[in-house]
Amino acid sequence: MSKAIGGRDARAPNSTGARSAGVPPALFQTRITELFGIRLPVLAGGLQWLATPDYVAAAARAGICGFITAASHEDIADLRAAIRRCRELSEGKPFGVNVSMLPKLVQGERTQGIFDLIVEEGVRFVETSGRNPAPYLPALKAAGIKVVHKVPAVKYAIKAQAEGVDAVAVVGAECGGHPGMDMVGTMVQANVAAAKLSIPLLVGGGIGTGAHLVAALALGADGVVVGTRFLVAEEIWAHADYKRRLIEADETETTLILSSLRNTARVLRNEATATVQALESSGAGIEALMPHISGKVGREAYRTGDWSKAALSVGQSVAFADRIEPLAAIIARFEDEARAALARLKGLAR
């Protein structure tokens, strides 16, 4: 099954594709391109288990900034090794570390140790989420580290701005992972946030094409965060069967779970999520849910390609995941789509 994106058969090669003859001039200059030192105002948000050094370095080389997910590393020494490998592969271009501080479903708090390591290793950028990063900001700022805090609602972005983060990313209800409890869409979040914030703003959730980037900038954002659209990149180590399922999926094939825990997640609709929803409806607690939602179950699904047996974070922009190809090719297409959107707007202007 192929997807027709923007009226084209997704199997047809893109007219420009990934560029091999040099780097094209920057299409946009925003506060995000300036803050991160990147060519496009796009961040590849942290992906649990999947945002490896190879993937994050590919993002860096393609002119955007990605984040190694600290939570994917059970050992601090492993995270240190990942940071060092990413630095080697990134050719001097920027990358960061994602530190998720979501309510823990298992015992063990490593946040302080992770931030200590980030400072020690001279990482320049951090993406935080889950709870207020204020306790960690003084040490990060003293080390010259820039912090972008990701939130599911504008009210949390306002709080993060007051605490002194360098940028905020506001994700709408369309996003994979955790869209919060209010479930406000990205277009509304973007415009409201732009009116209420003074620091650089990114928006995420449903961002799957370059036209979405143009729309986000028009709404007042300085850039976008992308997750789901990049899941079919060759540098994502997950099994090809999982990626093929994403290519087959359309915008209706995600669902919401874990609202009963006040930790709502948007995930790929499958056997496991149907079980979780039934358990939640019956009043089941975390113990009954864990066999279906634990991170280790998800990691095994990525390894084997059996996407039906785990709760896997996927956003509605899966509709635009149309082929497996290098991340650089996806980003090149993203940029071409942005240019086409700008040309269309120019043609409509009077």
Please, what's the b/e burial string for 13-45 (b: 16 or more CB within 10 A of its CB; e: otherwise)? eeeeeeeeeeeeeebbebbbbebbebbbbbbbb
Position 121 scores a pLDDT of 97
Position 102 scores a pLDDT of 66
Q: Which amino acid is at 58?
A: A
pTM of the model: 0.91
- Residues belonging to the chain: 350
Position 185 scores a pLDDT of 97
Q: Which pair of tokens denotes residue 145?
A: 């580290």
Q: Among residues of the chain, what percentage have pLDDT more than 90?
A: 87
pLDDT tens digit sequence for 6-65 = 433 333 333 334 444 456 678 999 999 999 999 999 999 999 999 999 999 999 999 999
In terms of Cβ atoms closer than 10 Å to its own Cβ (0-12, 13-18, 19+), residue 195 is: exposed
Position 104 scores a pLDDT of 52
Which residues have C-beta within 8 Å of that of residue 304, sequence separation ≥ 6?
239
Q: Which CATH architecture has domain 29-237?
A: Alpha-Beta Barrel (3.20)
Name residues of the chain where pLDDT drops below 50: 1, 4-21, 105-107
In the numeric block, the tokens 């990060």 are attached to 140
